[in-house]
Chains A and B, each alone.
Chain A
Amino acid sequence: MQAISFFTGALASIGRSTLGLLASIGRVIIFTTLAVSHMLRAPFYPRELAAQLLQIGYFSLPVVGLTTLFTGGALALQIYAGGARFNAESVVPSIVAIGMVRELGPVLAGLMVAGRVGASIAAEIGTMKVTEQIDALTTLSTNPVKYLVVPRLLAATIAMPLLVLIGNIIGILGGFLVGIIRLDFNAAAYITNTVDFLETGDITSGLIKAAVFGFIVALMGSYSGFNSGRGAQGVGRATTNAVVSASVLILASNYLLTELLFPA
């Protein structure tokens, strides 16, 4: 009897969680549709867009640059060590370049921006909700989604490919520096190997991923902020949700995009 009651309890719990998850997915889809529909209709807020481009793009440059610089360097060391097992040390420049532009550049930049920007968007919008600033926008004949969400979505979608492009260059530079200083590569040969093996498709696929990741970061930050609970705890939880959900979605969509862009 006890076993049956435990079993039905567990089943009910799984059912509740599943329904909760489906309801959350539904709410995110409705929010996304609403935000995208507002992107296509006036009024537009170019001043807000410019401010967000600066905030999301320019101010994220140091963190993305440092992340890719060190990752490029570490990647060069790892590939060298791995390649040495079958006398293939010469692949270091090309693998560093391909690894950075296809995979590590967009994913690491996405995760770093999710931490920096996603959290900041959720905290800002969440605080605005808690302090009734979002209601105030409505009473001042301004649609909060159009004024707060659309500029952030556009800015993140535009800024991320640019950030990743710069991040890729810095990452390859990291590999290059380690290659010539620590691994005794010839500088000219390293550059030639990098350029020769890199194809346009490698770069564009990374940039497409970056745009998608930027959209995800701004979307989850805005959604979590708009659905923030009351008080400091509510805003704190919204911030955590924004970073966690954006990070998971970045990793999941990275796999799907890789399947789409580079089918086996």
Chain B
Amino acid sequence: MSGVAKIALKGVEKAFGINHVLRGVDLAVSKGTSLVVIGGSGTGKSVLLKCILGIVTPDRGEILIDGKAMRNRDDFLSHFGMLFQGGALFDSLPVWHNVAFRLRQGRGKLSKADAQELAIEKLRRVGLKPDVAFQFPAELSGGMQKRVGLARAIASNPSVIFFDEPTTGLDPIMAGVINELIREIVSEIGATTITITHDMSSVRAIADHVAMIHAGKVRWHGPVTEVDSAKDPYLDQFINGRAEGPIESVR
């Protein structure tokens, strides 16, 4: 990686009581690239994302955005989008309002008509018909909710996007569709992305680089093209889904 990283973590540690989730994570993501973070359940991947977002405050370590410590979280978040694992769509709002939520806030907020138009355009981009805009999240299938979540994540053309387990709970075909959409859209808007997933098909479809977290630290980090040939026994066990190996199956 050359130049200043878009997002860099240095020695980030976080514990919840006696549970030390992150034990010194060092990670860097270059501008315009896609990093996929893999690792077993409960290894701290989601906590890592929440630390970067400022939802969780690290106990130690530094998080740098464009080489500088984040001073104003609101500035960072204004160029940021996120697709949540369960969609996290607001039940009480129609789909169009979910998609254009950020653009309906603050001083330069869009009018209702403009927001609806933009939402319909973003929904079309993720393969949903305009009439979906006027439905409520509870009326949609899991795959459609993921697409709406994706439309919301890209609504303001952010420069940084996080994807938290984007294909969890979807059938293989829908998972493939979502992976493809993520790859296409991210290339289109040139965003820097971090994705958390257990799904190796997502890793191969989305990633430029892969980082594996184990025991609260980055165990392996490298280009996606080297994942299969890497000699790390932990990575090898994880990507091949073997019960036998250095990672305990009962955690």
Q: Which residues of A contact B (CB under 8 A)?
A: 43, 127-128, 131-133, 135-136, 138-142
A114–B71 alpha-carbon span in the complex (Å): 41
Report Cα–Cα, A43/B74, bound state, in Å. Answer: 14
A97 to B213, CA, bound (A): 69
Number of interface residues of B (CB under 8 A): 22
What residues on A are CB-neighbors of B88 within 8 Å?
131-133, 135-136
Query: CB distance B105 to A141 under 8 Å?
Result: yes
Judge whether A140 and B50 touch: CB under 8 Å.
no
28 examples of A-B residue contacts, CB within 8 angstroms: A43-B106, A128-B90, A131-B86, A131-B88, A132-B84, A132-B86, A132-B88, A133-B88, A133-B89, A133-B90, A133-B91, A135-B53, A136-B82, A136-B84, A138-B53, A138-B54, A139-B53, A139-B77, A139-B80, A139-B82, A140-B101, A140-B102, A140-B105, A140-B152, A141-B74, A141-B77, A141-B102, A142-B105
Q: CA of A128 to CA of B86 in the docked complex: distance in angstroms?
A: 12
Using CB atoms, name the residue of chain A closest to B85.
A132
Give the distance in Å from the alpha carbon of A133 to the alpha carbon of B88 in the complex. 5
In the complex, whether B237 has a CB less than 8 A from a CB of chain A is: no
Task: Tell whether B1 is near chain A: CB-to-CB under 8 Å.
Answer: no
A136 touches B90 (CB 8 A): yes
| Interface-central residue, B50, B84, B152, by most chain A CB under 10 Å | B84
Give B122-164 as 1s and 0s: 1 = Cβ < 8 Å from A's Cβ atoms.
Answer: 0000000000000000000000000000001000000000000
Question: Measured between C-beta atoms, what is the minimum distance from B135 to chain A in Å?
Answer: 17
B149 to chain A, nearest CB (A): 9
Give chain B residues whose Cβ lies under 8 Å from the Cβ of A43.
105-106
A138 and B55 in contact, given A132-B86, A133-B88 (Cβ under 8 angstroms)? yes
Interface centre among A43, A128, A132, A138 (most CB of B within 10 A): A132
Main secondary structure of the interface of B (DSSP, over half): loop
Shortest beta-carbon distance from B52 to chain A in Å: 11
Say whether B78 faces chain A, with CB atoms less than 8 Å apart.
yes
- The complex places the Cα of A135 from the Cα of B85 at a distance, in Å, of 12
In the complex, what's the smallest C-beta–C-beta distance from A231 to chain B, in angstroms?
Answer: 13
Residue among A135, A136, A138, A142 with the most chain B CB within 10 A?
A136
Complexed CA–CA distance, A131 and B81 (Å): 17
| B55 partner residues in chain A, CB cutoff 8 A | 135, 138
A-contact bits for B44-88, CB 8 A (1 contact / 0 none): 000000100111000000000000000000100110111011101
| Residue with the greatest number of chain B CB neighbours at <10 A, chosen from A127, A132, A133, A141 | A141
Chain A residue with the shortest CB-CB distance to B109: A43
The 5 closest A-B pairs by CB, nearest first: A136-B88, A132-B88, A139-B82, A140-B102, A141-B77
Nearest CB in chain B: distance from A126 CB, A: 13
Least distance between B44 CB and chain A CB atoms (Å): 16
Minimum CB–CB distance for A234 against chain B, Å: 15
**Shortest beta-carbon distance from B90 to chain A in Å:** 6
CA distance A43 to B50 in the complex (A): 24
> With A and B bound together, what is the CA distance between A208 and B90 in angstroms?
35
Bound Cα distance from A133 to B90, whole angstroms: 6
For the complex formed, measure the closest distance between the CB of A129 and the CB atoms of chain B, giving whole angstroms.
11
